[in-house]
Structure 1
Amino acid sequence: MESFARNSTLHYKDVKIPAPWGYISGRWYGNRAERPILAIHGWMDNLGTFERLIPLISDCVGVLCIDLPGHGRSSRLPSGICYSVYDYVYIIPMVMKEFGWTTVSLMGHSLGGVMSFMYASMAPDTVDLIISLDVLLPRRVTNPSKITQDIEKCLAEERRQVDAAQEPPSFTLNQLRVALDKGSNHSVPLKLADHMLHRQVAKSQIYPDKLFFSRDGRVKFYHIFDIEPGLAAEMAKRIRRKPYLIIKGGLSPFVGHNCDEAMSILSQDNPNFHFYEVKGASHHVQLQAPEECAQYIAPFIRSHRSATNRIIRNSEITKSKL
């Protein structure tokens, strides 16, 4: 079988965070003696989305990347439970509780960035910095009937999983690369697809030279709500003046005019708010242009998570079991 083409030599420790439905799978890169950055991937992705970025920033502080439930190697939610951005937000305090953190540093791409904004607005006193990759707010819902359609599709997918007596359709590795490239609107090109695929496929037991997507098919139809402008403004006011870094892909529509008011509030009288655009990159900006992203992220982390600041702001030590 063709092998995955990846270059990832950075040292890490695999972790499993207990959850009532199973566990959350993760990788802790770099320093494990102090509280790390918590990195959260986007919809239908997994922690592999950060593989090219982490080696360029992990000298500043460790990074704990997690797979959200139903994604990557994390457990699926139980049958009968649909995926929702509301419930995903609770993953953040769950991780904090597991490691004994009273403060968290957040880095999120796409859905992970939306989660970071939402959590920081709900519990601003527990967040010391936010790094948001090509997102701030969810994109506006233009077709409300899609929500109904997604509910029906999610239920159909669940019935399929329960009733299916055989594994999902399988493909060659190259076919999966093409599918990921196409499904991401070419944001995850063929040459970078393996950074994601190695955590979201399984070997077919029927066709030894083929693989199938192992993530929960229900995540395709998860529910994300539209944060209307008034609510977005109130949420941003609760985060105001906190260190906030937003990096936008120059070819991506995900940080649009619907974000203008919230960004204005976040940046008002805030020398620690930064916005950068990476020309030529699309939605997976951290995967396509990790070097340029690191030019902005590394000094931001150093500024707000320096050795002195870590001692002052957070004296917690990671549980010895890691």
Structure 2
Amino acid sequence: MAAKGLLSELKLAVPWGYIAAKVWGSQQAPPVLCLHGWLDNASSFDRLIPLLPKDFCYVAMDFGGHGLSSHYSPGLPYYQENFVSEIRRVVAALKWKHFSIVGHSFGGAVGAMFSSIFPEMVNKLILLDTWPFPLDPKGIERVPTYRRGAIEYVLQVEASQKPRQVASPEEMLQRFMKNNSHVSEESARLLLQRGTTKVATGLTLNRDRRIALPVHCMDFVSREQFVNFTKQLRAHVLLIKAMQGYFNVRREDDTNKSIITFVTDTLKSILKERYQYIEVPGSHYVHLNQPETVAGIISAFLQSKETIPHRM
């Protein structure tokens, strides 16, 4: 099932192998980089991009260890900063000087961090049901525990040497949907097309087994750091929050809703007219399950004339 309007598949060389990506539209058009969420892949955008303006070039990449991209070399962990670096490698290979970003969930956090570190490169930043910089509701004090868990998990996986699990297509689908309650069956099948490989007895997942919990990878920031990273942004920012999305069901201990107020108030006070916040009905995967819900909002934002100033 080819995505409508798909121009080509790319493999961009990196020191540990290659980054795989999908391209829609003319590569001479203004570029938009699309970044998928945790454990997803580039097919996350297959139903949204055909609904967006045709006068842009959309590139959806698979992060390392996801989709069709190479896994990191043995012994190397997956941290958020590594994925930020991957964006820099991809845009260098594509020879992009300025571009916009659409990021879902974890991809939005990675894209925002890139936009803060390389602010002169990003014109527009569209965040799909995510914050730009990760804040833990229980505070920055948890980070050492997360880092310890990440290190111990990777060592455990590397020591186990277990063969990859094989499942029938239906078993794989049911398992995927059980672990991803926000994904419709049609969306799940789409993600599994790129996220699995056929073997003699069924399907295996493509993703690197060293990638486990998001908290093991994310670079959590304090509220002070959140403010400072936001101040570095030059991009115009659109945050689309799904009303039945990530922040409603993420973790049992996410009961402190003041964090949502802090994020939206901070972005508004610092970015001012460069910030838009819109709530839409739908789940965490609204861009994939019901792309028509967000396509018009994203299209209008991409087609607006604002660009980043040369100096702030």
The two structures share one fold, judged by TM-score above 0.5: yes
Taking a change above 3 Å as real, the CA distance of residues 267 and 94 of structure 1, as seen in their structure-2 partners, is same
In the alignment, the residues of structure 2 paired with residue 134 and residue 60 of structure 1 have an alpha-carbon distance, to the nearest angstrom, of 25
* Structure (1/2) with the larger strand percentage: 2
Out of 17, 25, 31, which is 1:22 matched to?
17
Taking a change above 3 Å as real, the CA distance of residues 124 and 198 of structure 1, as seen in their structure-2 partners, is same
Q: How does 1:120-199 map to 2 (within 5 A)?
A: 120-136=115-131, 137-140=133-136, 142=138, 145-160=145-160, 163-164=161-162, 167-184=163-180, 186-199=181-194
Out of 270, 273, 276, which is 1:271 matched to?
273
In the alignment, the residues of structure 2 paired with residue 181 and residue 117 of structure 1 have an alpha-carbon distance, to the nearest angstrom, of 28
Asked whether 1:10 is paired with 2:8, we answer: no
Aligned position for 1:227: 221
Q: How does 1:66-105 map to 2 (within 5 A)?
A: 66-105=61-100
Q: How far 1:146 sits from its partner (Å)?
A: 4.4
In the alignment, the residues of structure 2 paired with residue 171 and residue 195 of structure 1 have an alpha-carbon distance, to the nearest angstrom, of 17
Structure 2: tracts of 5 or more residues without a match: 249-256
Asked whether 1:287 is paired with 2:283, we answer: no
Q: How far 1:141 sits from its partner (Å)?
A: 6.3
Q: How far 1:59 sits from its partner (Å)?
A: 1.4
Q: For 1:212, what is the secondary structure of its paired residue? A: strand
Aligned position for 2:251: none
Aligned position for 2:240: 247
Q: How far 1:212 sits from its partner (Å)?
A: 1.3
Q: How far 1:8 sits from its partner (Å)?
A: 2.9
Q: For 1:217, what is the secondary structure of its paired residue? A: coil
Q: How far 1:272 sits from its partner (Å)?
A: 3.6
Code of the residue aligned with 1:217 in structure 2: it is R
Code of the residue aligned with 2:279 in structure 1: it is E
TM-score using structure 2 length: 0.87
Code of the residue aligned with 2:226 in structure 1: it is A
Q: How far 1:101 sits from its partner (Å)?
A: 1.7
Aligned position for 1:237: 231
Aligned position for 2:299: 298
Structure 1: tracts of 5 or more residues without a match: 1-5, 314-322
Task: Calculate percent identity across the aligned residue pairs.
Answer: 27
Code of the residue aligned with 1:43 in structure 2: it is W
Q: How far 1:211 sits from its partner (Å)?
A: 0.8
In the alignment, the residues of structure 2 paired with residue 199 and residue 253 of structure 1 have an alpha-carbon distance, to the nearest angstrom, of 23
TM-score using structure 1 length: 0.84
How many residues matched? 294
Bigger mean CA deviation after superposition, 61-70 or 253-262: 253-262
Deviation string 1:199-240 (CA, Å, 9 cap, x unpaired) is 1111123x1xx1111211111244213211010011111216
In the alignment, the residues of structure 1 paired with residue 258 and residue 17 of structure 2 have an alpha-carbon distance, to the nearest angstrom, of 39
RMSD over aligned Cα atoms: 2.3
Q: For 2:272, what is the secondary structure of its paired residue? A: coil
In the alignment, the residues of structure 2 paired with residue 86 and residue 260 of structure 1 have an alpha-carbon distance, to the nearest angstrom, of 26
Bigger mean CA deviation after superposition, 67-76 or 225-234: 225-234
In the alignment, the residues of structure 1 paired with residue 260 and residue 112 of structure 2 have an alpha-carbon distance, to the nearest angstrom, of 12
- On the 8 A contact 1:28/1:63 being kept in 2, the answer is yes
